[in-house]
Amino acid sequence: MIRYHPLESCAPWSDSDSADLRLFDWQTGTAEFSMIDDDRVVAVSFDSDVIVRMLDEFPLSTEDKPGNRMGIVPHHFAYRVEGDPFFKAQSEAWRDVQGSPQHYRFLTGAGCLDVISTAVPRFALLARERP
How many helices (H) and strands (E) the chain has is answered by 3, 10
Where do runs of H (alpha helix) occur along the chain?
A: 57-62, 85-88, 92-98
Cα–Cα distance, 21 to 113 (Å, whole number): 8
Report the domain count for the chain: 1
Q: Are 9 and 42 in contact (CB under 8 A)?
A: yes
Range of 118's domain? 2-127
Distance CA 34, CA 69 (A): 26
Cβ count within 10 A of residue 2: 21
What sign for the dihedral angle of Cα 69, 72, 78, 82?
negative
Whole-prediction pTM value? 0.91
3-state secondary structure of 57: helix
Sheet with 122-127: strands ordered across: 20-25, 30-34, 40-45, 122-127
Residue 131's CB: how many other CB atoms inside 10 A? Answer: 2
**Bigger pLDDT: 56 vs 53:** 53
Model pLDDT for residues 57-109, shown as the tens digit of each residue: 655 665 666 677 899 999 999 999 999 999 999 988 988 888 899 999 999 98
Each residue of 110-124: pLDDT tens digit?
889 999 999 999 999
